[in-house]
């Protein structure tokens, strides 16, 4: 019997396939949690729209007010049993989750043009109407301070990098040995 992780964390660039990876693990019996759900709940309480800009701003505000690992702490209060945890974007979230038994962090990435096409096809408010705006928005997320998004550092801290530049079936094949 292979040793499978109890908690699988997902980090990575926008449009890299984190949602598809999460769906794969859910199909294997993992519960799903997203750190962004904590932010969405807060935006709902405030009556603010769920835009990418509002998610980033509010997540940073919550980290500043309650500590950089607040989203991970609040999520772990809900998690029981095997779980996949999406939207990890701060190194102190990673540090908190690493203290949980059986945690593995996966980073997903793909070429920027591929990711831009994927996000455009989703039809959500990504706060970027062009590839250039997409790149600029991503630059904000990559190297923030202690209470901001630190995507680059989170990806560097991953146990495994998955380049998702193919089909959904290709991605599932790359995830198979973990579930």
Question: What does the alpha-carbon distance between residue 145 and residue 123 come to, in Å, rounded to a whole number?
Answer: 30
Single pTM value for the model: 0.89
Domain 7-178 has CATH 3.40.50.2300: no
Q: What is the mean pLDDT of the chain?
A: 91
Whether 106 and 11 have beta carbons less than 8 Å apart is answered as yes
Residue 3, sorted as left (phi over 0), alpha (psi -120 to 50) or beta, turns out to be beta
pLDDT in tens, 168-178: 999 999 999 88
pLDDT tens by residue, the chain, 179 residues = 356 679 999 999 989 999 999 999 999 999 999 999 999 999 999 999 998 889 989 999 999 999 999 999 999 999 989 999 999 999 999 999 999 999 999 999 999 999 999 988 887 656 678 899 889 888 877 667 787 778 899 999 999 999 999 999 999 999 998 87
Contact, 108 vs 12, CB < 8 A? yes
Q: Which of these, 40, 22, 37, lies nearest to 84 by C-alpha position?
A: 22
Task: Specify the pLDDT at position 39.
Answer: 97
Domain borders along the chain are: 7-178
| Tally of CA atoms within 13 A in the half-sphere of 61 that contains its CB | 12
SS3 4: coil
């Amino acid at each position: 019997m292979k040793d499978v992780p109890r908690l699988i964390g997902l980090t990575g660039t926008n449009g890299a396939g984190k949602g598809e990876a999460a769906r794969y693990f859910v199909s294997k019996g993992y519960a799903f949690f997203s750190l962004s759900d904590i932010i969405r709940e807060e935006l709902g309480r405030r009556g603010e729209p769920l835009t990418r800009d509002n998610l980033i701003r509010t997540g940073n505000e919550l980290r500043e007010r309650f500590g950089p690992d607040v989203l991970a702490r609040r999520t772990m209060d809900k998690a029981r049993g095997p779980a996949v945890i999406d939207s990890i974007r701060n190194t102190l979230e990673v540090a908190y989750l690493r203290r949980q038994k059986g945690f593995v962090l996966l980073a997903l990435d793909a070429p920027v043009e591929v990711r831009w096409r994927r996000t455009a096809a989703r039809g959500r408010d990504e706060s970027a109407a062009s590839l250039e705006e997409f790149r600029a928005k991503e630059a904000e997320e990559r190297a923030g301070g202690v209470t901001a998004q630190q995507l680059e550092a989170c990806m560097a801290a991953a146990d495994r990098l998955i380049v998702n530049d193919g089909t959904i079936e290709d991605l599932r094949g790359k995830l198979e040995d973990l579930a």
